[in-house]
Structure 1
Amino acid sequence: MSDALDTAVRGAEVFAEKAKAFAEQARTAAETAETWAQEAARAAEADTGNVAGALAHGASGGAVDPFVFQFAIFVLAIFVGYYVVWSVTPALHTPLMSVTNAISSVIVVGALLAVGMSAAGFGATVFGFLALVLASVNIFGGFLVTQRMLAMYKKKQR
């Protein structure tokens, strides 16, 4: 019986030691986080670039041209797409081409909306039609690539 009691007491002592060590680590982490927060606050106060940007935004009346905003999103999407595609290993480019059909179908929906809106203007209609054509080429090309990829795994008939 005393062995079981000694084991239980020893287990409680080990647990207490680990709890103290964990509490010390938590205290150290909290102090580190507080230090980082103070440094970040000092850096934010010293950042004049944000102040200049805020002043320029205020000087323009706080308005951003919708075309500039949408064009910026378009340019960012180009960069993201470029880096996503080129970071894929070459062995996975064919399956990636097959998956882009779903993405291109979303582009087709957006292009149809841009072409169909009469109030959007001539530029939006032209760009919408161009997006529709390019996305359609991508979709049909993706289907052809997928068909050829699947044909590689079929048994040849003699």
Structure 2
Amino acid sequence: MTTVAMTVNGKAVSVDSEDRALLVEVLREKLNLTGTHVGCDTSQCGACVVLVDGVAVKSCTMLAAQADGSTVETIESLAKNGELHPMQVAFNENHGLQCGFCTPGMIMTAVDMVRRRGKTLDDTTIRHELEGNICRCTGYVNIVKAIKAGAARM
């Protein structure tokens, strides 16, 4: 057993977990933050993307112990005071989701993308940045449109 101390969505937490526990498991099972999804367990789909110290990370391939001392942001951290984050609004308005399973990871990847690359993103850049995120429903046209709109509002 390892005690992992981190700041998750602005709150200091300390969690006892097995040494081999993945960050996604701790977030979902110990902290009840189920917005972070497990889609593949192999780092292929991106449904589990969270921000660790401000950088997009696939939490299904990161040990929880590696996050000790870090700041972790999940999809649950984006909405403030009942108001959706601009990227969440853009996904809704631009029909950037269908079943919604990949959406938390897509949005967290998009937030990271805007933080790193700025508010003006072209289609090619967005598509390149989304290479680690798979949507099995939409075909990406509306996801790209949503990210452009969300980036402009951030």
Higher strand share: 2
Larger Rg: 1
Shared fold per TM-score greater than 0.5:
no
Higher helix share: 1
- TM-score, normalised by the number of residues in structure 1: 0.24
- TM-score, normalised by the number of residues in structure 2: 0.24
